Amino acid sequence: MPTADKIIVKRELLELRNEWKNEKLVFTNGCFDILHLGHVDYLEKAAEKGTKLIVAINTDQSVSKLKGPDRPVNDEYSRCRLIAALAFVDAVILFSEDTPLSLITDIKPDVLVKGNDYTIDNIVGADVVIENGGKVETIELVKGYSTTNIINKLSK
Protein backbone atom coordinates (compact mmCIF):
# COMPACT_ATOMS: atom_id res chain seq x y z
CA MET A 1 0.00 0.00 0.00
CA PRO A 2 1.39 3.44 -0.87
CA THR A 3 2.43 5.39 2.20
CA ALA A 4 -0.05 8.23 1.64
CA ASP A 5 -2.95 5.71 1.52
CA LYS A 6 -2.31 4.89 5.19
CA ILE A 7 -3.22 8.47 6.14
CA ILE A 8 -6.94 8.41 6.81
CA VAL A 9 -9.80 10.48 8.22
CA LYS A 10 -12.17 9.50 11.02
CA ARG A 11 -14.87 8.04 8.74
CA GLU A 12 -12.25 5.77 7.14
CA LEU A 13 -10.92 4.81 10.56
CA LEU A 14 -14.38 3.70 11.67
CA GLU A 15 -14.74 1.65 8.47
CA LEU A 16 -11.35 0.06 9.08
CA ARG A 17 -12.34 -0.73 12.66
CA ASN A 18 -15.25 -2.74 11.24
CA GLU A 19 -13.00 -4.47 8.70
CA TRP A 20 -10.46 -5.22 11.42
CA LYS A 21 -12.98 -6.52 13.98
CA ASN A 22 -11.07 -9.85 14.19
CA GLU A 23 -7.71 -8.11 14.57
CA LYS A 24 -6.06 -7.01 17.80
CA LEU A 25 -6.08 -3.24 17.33
CA VAL A 26 -3.34 -1.16 18.98
CA PHE A 27 -3.69 2.61 19.30
CA THR A 28 -1.13 5.22 20.24
CA ASN A 29 -0.68 8.93 19.68
CA GLY A 30 1.85 11.72 19.74
CA CYS A 31 3.39 14.69 17.95
CA PHE A 32 6.26 12.77 16.31
CA ASP A 33 7.79 16.09 15.28
CA ILE A 34 11.33 15.06 14.34
CA LEU A 35 11.31 11.31 13.74
CA HIS A 36 14.16 9.65 15.66
CA LEU A 37 15.27 6.29 17.04
CA GLY A 38 13.12 6.71 20.15
CA HIS A 39 9.97 7.11 18.05
CA VAL A 40 10.76 4.14 15.80
CA ASP A 41 11.61 1.88 18.75
CA TYR A 42 8.44 2.93 20.59
CA LEU A 43 6.16 2.41 17.59
CA GLU A 44 7.75 -0.92 16.70
CA LYS A 45 7.18 -2.18 20.26
CA ALA A 46 3.60 -0.84 20.17
CA ALA A 47 2.94 -2.76 16.94
CA GLU A 48 4.09 -5.97 18.62
CA LYS A 49 1.21 -5.64 21.12
CA GLY A 50 -1.37 -6.54 18.45
CA THR A 51 -2.00 -7.14 14.75
CA LYS A 52 -2.89 -3.61 13.56
CA LEU A 53 -1.31 -0.34 14.69
CA ILE A 54 -3.12 2.99 14.43
CA VAL A 55 -1.09 6.11 15.17
CA ALA A 56 -2.93 9.37 15.90
CA ILE A 57 -0.82 12.48 15.28
CA ASN A 58 -1.41 15.96 16.67
CA THR A 59 -2.18 18.62 14.06
CA ASP A 60 0.22 21.54 13.70
CA GLN A 61 -2.12 23.76 15.70
CA SER A 62 -2.34 21.32 18.60
CA VAL A 63 1.45 20.78 18.62
CA SER A 64 1.96 24.55 18.89
CA LYS A 65 -0.52 24.67 21.73
CA LEU A 66 1.27 21.84 23.57
CA LYS A 67 4.91 22.59 22.76
CA GLY A 68 5.03 26.31 22.05
CA PRO A 69 4.98 28.68 19.06
CA ASP A 70 8.23 27.37 17.53
CA ARG A 71 6.79 23.89 17.12
CA PRO A 72 6.21 21.78 15.20
CA VAL A 73 9.44 21.77 13.22
CA ASN A 74 7.86 19.53 10.56
CA ASP A 75 4.35 20.15 9.26
CA GLU A 76 1.54 17.67 9.93
CA TYR A 77 1.53 16.16 6.43
CA SER A 78 5.28 15.48 6.60
CA ARG A 79 4.94 13.94 10.05
CA CYS A 80 2.07 11.73 8.87
CA ARG A 81 3.97 10.55 5.78
CA LEU A 82 7.05 9.66 7.80
CA ILE A 83 5.07 7.63 10.34
CA ALA A 84 2.97 6.00 7.60
CA ALA A 85 6.19 4.93 5.84
CA LEU A 86 7.01 2.61 8.73
CA ALA A 87 6.09 -0.92 7.66
CA PHE A 88 4.59 -1.83 11.04
CA VAL A 89 2.16 1.14 11.04
CA ASP A 90 -1.22 0.29 9.50
CA ALA A 91 -3.01 3.63 9.68
CA VAL A 92 -2.27 7.25 10.58
CA ILE A 93 -4.87 9.84 11.54
CA LEU A 94 -4.59 13.49 12.55
CA PHE A 95 -6.41 14.91 15.56
CA SER A 96 -6.78 18.55 16.50
CA GLU A 97 -8.29 18.24 19.97
CA ASP A 98 -6.12 18.48 23.09
CA THR A 99 -6.33 14.70 23.46
CA PRO A 100 -7.34 11.76 21.25
CA LEU A 101 -10.16 10.78 23.64
CA SER A 102 -12.89 11.00 20.99
CA LEU A 103 -10.94 8.71 18.64
CA ILE A 104 -10.31 6.22 21.44
CA THR A 105 -13.98 6.32 22.45
CA ASP A 106 -15.12 5.77 18.86
CA ILE A 107 -12.81 2.91 17.89
CA LYS A 108 -12.35 1.23 21.28
CA PRO A 109 -8.90 -0.23 20.62
CA ASP A 110 -7.93 -3.56 22.15
CA VAL A 111 -4.66 -2.10 23.39
CA LEU A 112 -3.86 1.53 24.22
CA VAL A 113 -0.13 2.27 24.38
CA LYS A 114 1.90 5.20 25.71
CA GLY A 115 5.50 5.66 26.79
CA ASN A 116 6.53 4.83 30.33
CA ASP A 117 6.79 8.55 31.07
CA TYR A 118 3.03 8.10 31.65
CA THR A 119 1.25 5.99 34.23
CA ILE A 120 -2.04 4.24 33.52
CA ASP A 121 -3.69 6.78 35.85
CA ASN A 122 -2.81 9.68 33.53
CA ILE A 123 -3.22 8.05 30.11
CA VAL A 124 -6.14 9.67 28.32
CA GLY A 125 -8.73 7.07 27.34
CA ALA A 126 -7.40 4.34 29.62
CA ASP A 127 -10.74 4.10 31.40
CA VAL A 128 -12.62 3.75 28.09
CA VAL A 129 -10.32 0.97 26.87
CA ILE A 130 -10.44 -0.94 30.16
CA GLU A 131 -14.25 -0.61 30.40
CA ASN A 132 -14.48 -2.18 26.94
CA GLY A 133 -12.29 -5.15 27.86
CA GLY A 134 -9.04 -3.80 26.44
CA LYS A 135 -5.61 -3.31 27.95
CA VAL A 136 -3.49 -0.24 28.60
CA GLU A 137 0.26 -0.69 28.42
CA THR A 138 3.34 1.47 28.69
CA ILE A 139 6.54 1.01 26.75
CA GLU A 140 10.01 1.82 28.03
CA LEU A 141 11.44 4.77 26.13
CA VAL A 142 14.94 4.81 24.66
CA LYS A 143 17.00 7.02 26.96
CA GLY A 144 18.48 10.18 25.51
CA TYR A 145 16.21 10.43 22.48
CA SER A 146 13.64 13.19 22.26
CA THR A 147 12.72 15.89 19.79
CA THR A 148 13.50 18.52 22.43
CA ASN A 149 17.02 17.09 22.88
CA ILE A 150 17.58 17.18 19.11
CA ILE A 151 16.37 20.79 18.87
CA ASN A 152 18.58 21.83 21.81
CA LYS A 153 21.59 20.12 20.26
CA LEU A 154 21.02 21.85 16.91
CA SER A 155 20.66 25.27 18.53
CA LYS A 156 24.10 25.15 20.20
The pTM of the full predicted model, rounded to 2 decimals, is 0.93
Q: pLDDT at position 152, please?
A: 73
Q: Which residues pair with 115 in a beta bridge?
A: 139
Domain extent at residue 87: 3-154
Helices (H) and strands (E) in the chain, counts: 7, 6
> How far is it, in rounded angstroms, from Cα 105 to Cα 84?
23
Flag the least confident range among 24-28, 35-39, 54-58, 78-82: 35-39
Q: How confident is the model at residue 147 (pLDDT cuts 50, 70, 90)?
A: confident
pLDDT digits (tens, 9 = 90+) for 32-60: 998 999 999 999 999 999 999 999 999 99
Q: How confident is the model at residue 1 (pLDDT cuts 50, 70, 90)?
A: low
Q: pLDDT at position 142, please?
A: 85
CATH of the domain at 80: 3.40.50.620
Number of domains in the chain: 1
Whether residue 156 is predicted with pLDDT greater than 90 in this model: the reply is no
Q: pLDDT at position 40, please?
A: 97
Region 116-135 average pLDDT:
96
Strand order, beta sheet including 7-8? 7-8, 91-95, 52-58, 25-30, 111-115, 135-139
